[in-house]
Structure 1
Amino acid sequence: MEVRWRGVNPPKLGLLLTTINLIFSLLVGIRPTQALEMIVGKIPFLEAVNGSTVLLPCVYNSCIGIRNLYVNWQFNDNGTMQKVCEAVIRDEGVDTHMEIYRERVEFVGKNLANNISILLWNITFEDGGDYTCFGRNPKEKGRNHSAVFRLIVVDELRVVDNTLAILIASAVGGSIAALMGFMLLKNFTLYVLARMEEKNKECLVTSSGIDNTENGLSGSKAEAKPTPKKK
């Protein structure tokens, strides 16, 4: 059976159907990219002293929500990934029960939204390394994401040498003070010169008046000469 669309030529009809099929395929095939995200903070590392207690931060985020979200922490022990803890979060707002597989580890995110952070107590040098926060969301067809946080264990924290910063700050401050002093001196000098110029003008005017008086010009007080007598 041949189907004809009134007013549409067969070549144009084929092109139209192909375009429709392409658009439909694109719409059906669109899936969110990296909808699930695990976040360990803007600074994904920490330097801590041997024997101290540290927080390994991690929160998750999903633009379409979660259902039976699987999360865990793993420690990279010289290339071998060791599971630190794991949990399944059934839904948003549900308390999380974290299974702990390593000593001196405490889950601290149970009462905080989207938070799966953990504490490491009395850390040793063996605790130093990379910790991976992992999540897999079945609601997003098993999409998963992970983030790495590095722990550096040291004998003592390094003292930051601020000598260079202090020298730079002193130089900048001295330059600003010198510039302000120069501007004040310049303004004072201009003020003094202006006052001296005004006094010079006053002296010139006064001197001019005295000279005119002595020469008998207008406004002078010179004595009038007597009129000569006719013979």
Structure 2
Amino acid sequence: MEVHRRRAEREGAFPTHAFSTGLILTLLLGAWAAHALEMSTGKIPFLVAVNGSTVLLPCTYASCIGIKNLYFNWQFNANGTMEKLCESTIPYEGVEPHVSVFHERVEFVGNTPSNNISILLANITFEDDGEYTCFGRNPKEKFKNHSAIFTLSVVDELRVVDNTLTIIIASAVGGGIALLMGFMLLKNLTIFVLAKMEEKNKECLVTSSGIDNTENGLSGSKGDSKATPKKK
């Protein structure tokens, strides 16, 4: 088998060196990816807001290998043209950056100790409707780019959701469950009552049988204890 394996390797059937190199590279890339910078705009990366209101555009970052001179910015996709809203560089973790703001209605409200680089957008208009990109680049990762998108939808007024059908369905389901529970309770109560009645009937039969036996025994005793007639 060893001879066949070596022959197969020589013929290229088992490129062990290439396989080992590929495996090592894959593991290294996987380990590197696990420590990569991550940008996040939250579990719900979208918002529907009323025209004229002020909204929070959330963004946080995380890196297992730490940061140094982390560059970040916010950009707005204005009909295909990326408009920069603000930018800054965080020298080290926990150091508050000096943020340059390029939009009059934008305010940086982030907090570096909590890895928060969120912004406020005041007095929104229908022109603010669209995608906002939170961008980050960490020199520790050889300037690899990372980003996350937050979508803002601007409306005249928030629609009132008609929950009538949902309420009807919930009521029907709740009523069905209550009816089933009532039926099971009545069934268990009926079984309990019948069991008690059967137990009582058994006790009555045993008691009645004991009384009959006692009376029969007394009658026999009286018959046996009659005096023998005297001889004349």
Q: TM-score, normalised by structure 2?
A: 0.73
- Paired AA for residue 126 in structure 2: F
Q: Are the aligned partners of 2:48 and 2:155 in contact in 1 as well (CA < 8 Å)?
A: yes
- Paired AA for residue 220 in structure 1: S
RMSD: 3.4
Change (3 A) 1:194 1:219: farther
Q: Please report how far the alpha carbon of residue 58 of structure 1 lies from its aligned counterpart in structure 2 after TM superposition.
A: 0.9
Structure 2, unpaired ranges of 5+: 1-15
Paired positions, count: 207
Q: 2:137 maps to which residue? A: 136
Q: 2:12 maps to which residue? A: none
Q: 2:150 maps to which residue? A: 149
- Paired AA for residue 206 in structure 1: S
Q: TM-score, normalised by structure 1?
A: 0.74
1:27-61 CA-partner distances (Å, limit 9, x unpaired): 7x946237122111111111111111000011122
- In structure 2, C-alpha distance between the alignment counterparts of 1:94 and 1:200, rounded to whole Å: 86
Change (3 A) 1:200 1:140: closer
Q: 2:47 maps to which residue? A: 46
- In structure 1, C-alpha distance between the alignment counterparts of 2:213 and 2:63, rounded to whole Å: 99
Q: Are the aligned partners of 2:131 and 2:149 in contact in 1 as well (CA < 8 Å)?
A: yes
Structure 1, unpaired ranges of 5+: 1-17
Q: Please report how far the alpha carbon of residue 219 of structure 1 lies from its aligned counterpart in structure 2 after TM superposition.
A: 3.0
Change (3 A) 1:223 1:59: closer
- In structure 1, C-alpha distance between the alignment counterparts of 2:198 and 2:128, rounded to whole Å: 81
Change (3 A) 1:104 1:209: same
Q: 1:169 maps to which residue? A: 170
Q: Please report how far the alpha carbon of residue 122 of structure 1 lies from its aligned counterpart in structure 2 after TM superposition.
A: 0.7
Q: 2:208 maps to which residue? A: 206
1:94-145 CA-partner distances (Å, limit 9, x unpaired): 2211111112110111555322111000101111100011112223211111
Q: 2:3 maps to which residue? A: none
- Paired AA for residue 160 in structure 2: V
Find the structure with the greater CA-based Rg: 1
> What pairs up with 1:59-138 in 2 under 5 angstroms?
59-110=60-111, 112-138=113-139
- In structure 1, C-alpha distance between the alignment counterparts of 2:148 and 2:128, rounded to whole Å: 18
